[in-house]
Each structure stands twice: as C-alpha cells, then as structure tokens.
Amino acid sequence: MMNLAILGFGTVGSGVAKVLAENAAEVAAGAGEEVRLKYIVDVRDFPDSPFAPLLVKDFAVVENDPEVGLVVETIGGCGVALTFTRRALQAGKHVVTSNKQLVAEHGVELLALAKEKGVNYFFEASVGGGIPLLRPLFNDLSANKILAMKGIVNGTTNYILTAMEQSGKELDEALKEAQALGYAEQNPDSDLDGTDAVRKACILADLAWGRELKPEKVPAEGIRGVALQDIRNAASTEGAIKLLCRLIRQEDGTVYAWVAPHFVPKTSMLAHVDSAFNAVVITGSAVGDVLFYGTGAGSIPTASAVVGDVVDAVRHKHAPRGIGWTDAPLTLGDPDTLPARWYIRSGDSWSITEAMPAGMLPQAQVRYRVLD
C-alpha cells in the first residue's frame, strides 16, 4: 500500500482527495496496489469537510513519517511550495504537482533532485488541466522531431474572449462573469497578461527539446488590449480572436516562442475551442499535426491529471522514469522577425495584411498575427 499526503486543500487539493476517495478501486487497479490518503497539510481548518480528520498543519509530520511515500503539492507559487517540494524529495518521497510556476521556474533543480534520490517528480496537470498532454509529448511522440506547438492553454482568457464573442460583453464585464463562476481569480493579472500561458509554454518547450526555456525570455502580450470591436471584426470575416502560445523550432535549432492574441480563421480547429476549454496542436516530423483538447481547468478535471500522475508514480516507484531537461538554454529567435499576415486596426478601419515581419507593418492601433 502507498500512503500519500496532499499539500494544500484548495480547489485542486480538495478535488484530488475526492477523486482518490470515489475512484479508489480504479486507482488501485492502475497503480497495482492500494493508494491511501493519510494526511492533508493546510494552515486552515475545514471542520465541515469529510476529510477533516486527515488535516495537519505541520509539514514535518509528513516529512518525518516513513509510511508516506508520495506527496501531492497543490499549494501553488514558488514560496512554501518550493520549500516543501525540496524537503519531500530530500526525504525520498515521490512528488506530484499541478504547479506550473514551480515547474517552469525550478524544474531543472527539482527533477535533478528527484533523480538523485531515486524518486519521481511528475507534473501532468501543470499544462492543460485535465488533458493528457505532457506524457504523450514525452512518450508517445518521442519518435518525432517536434517542429512546432501552438494552442490555447489558459481557460480564463479563453472564457473571457468567448463571452465577448457570443454575448457581446466588454472585457471587464466578461472578466467579472469569469470570476463569479470561479474561472478567474480575484487577482487575474497572470491570466490577463499572459504570464500563466508563458509558464505552460516553457514546460512544453522544456519537454519537447530537452533544454530550459526560462519564462522571462518569452515575450508575452495578454488580452487587456482586445476590444469588443476586434472580436466583432474577426467574426465578420469568419475568424476569432484567441490567446495562443506559439513555439516553432527551425532546422538549425533556433526556437521562436511567444504568447499573444491571434486572429484565428474558422478553418482552424483552434477557432472553435470555446469557454474554459484548452487545446494544443503538436506538429511532429513523423506524425504531422496532433490535437489535444479538453477541459483546461477546474477542480475535478485537474485532479484527474494529478491522480493519473499518482498512479504512474506508484507503478514506477522502484524504477523512476527519466523525465527531465538540462539547464542549457534554448537558442531563441525574435518572433517579430518571422513573416506573418496581420490583423491591424486604426480607429474603425481594419484590414488583413500580406505576410511580413512585424517591423514592416504600417502604424496601427491594434495588431494581431493571423494564424496560418
């Protein structure tokens, strides 16, 4: 039997506890043994929760319990989550996380520590919520040279843009709706500014090409400048405005990485990804384009990916899987040098340009690449 602890009992942590309880038989069958939740670590009290008897406030209880072999980190951020992850790995415990910031900024260190201690560090839920994405990228597409990746990886911004398109709401009104439904945090800056999508793009690049892409190296333009007028202009010509992460690798190894709103023609599958759903298209040298689509956020869908990692970690507890990348940086190019068609708007006038680098564009109030 594998005993585990959950760190953080918020949206994702509570979902993990629920999935472990409700799908115990399926989890045990997949893992090859019973998986038992022994502790939940949180500084808060949850007296009305059925899991209240498992709550402890001191991580040292988990750290020093030899019966606990696996830790699920759902705290978020790079503060106490980083400290507890280091301590768990040092104690020889497998760690599973949904924390994209931690993986994007400290993945090299934590994966190296896991390797040193002979344990697994898994993070499927850090990109795409409940979508099986990272494991297929690392395993099933390993016979391919990954040529490009593009997609909608932030459910909050996609919900907002969909609400603007379908209900005619301005961005601020659509944001308030997303917050009321729990899709957006009260402080939505990392979503609106593209920071969240950048972290996920970095994890995709790290796994695909085996070298580190630091978030601060990826230019990002969020959706704050997207007006209802732009949404309507796109719709009038069979298009949609979507926030995309883009990763392109040239034959010489140069990688172009960025996050920005794009004009997406309706001929693209990504134009039809609405609400809080995510979708990523991976282009491989052998397989061509492969689409991964599904719920990109939410307690239970994200917990599905987390518990999938738990099963994989238990199954490979004696032979950890060699997931990782080096700290050698990727060679990066300037995305603005890549020719593209552009949606440009000045006042009420707008048009789609011929393909050209950003530096050749005429003056415009708004400009978004067209996804070709």
Q: Across the beta sheet with 366-370, what order do the strands follow?
A: 288-295, 277-284, 146-152, 239-249, 255-265, 366-370, 342-346, 349-352
Distance between CA atoms of residues 86 and 71, nearest Å: 11
3-state class of 256 per DSSP?
Answer: strand
CB 353 within 8 A of CB 364: no
- Paired strand residues for 189: none
Structure tokens at 345: 């708007």
* CA distances from residue 93 to 4, 37, 88 in whole angstroms, order as listed: 9, 14, 5
- Please indicate whether residue 217 is annotated as part of the active site: no
CB 157 within 8 A of CB 192: yes
Give the β-pairing of 255-265 and 239-249: antiparallel
Residue with tokens 């990066």: 332
**DSSP assignment string, 140-184:** ITTTSPEEEEEEE--HHHHHHHHHHHHH---HHHHHHHHHHTTSS
The residue from 38, 100, 150, 200 that is catalytic is 200
How many beta carbons lie within 10 A of that of residue 112, not counting itself? 16
Structure tokens at 157: 């911004």
CB 299 within 8 A of CB 5: no
CB 279 within 8 A of CB 260: no
Distance between CA atoms of residues 277 and 104, nearest Å: 22
Contacts of 166-172 with CB under 8 Å at 24 or more apart are 166/274, 168/228, 169/228, 170/227, 170/228, 171/223, 171/224, 171/226, 171/227, 171/228
Which of the residues are catalytic? 200
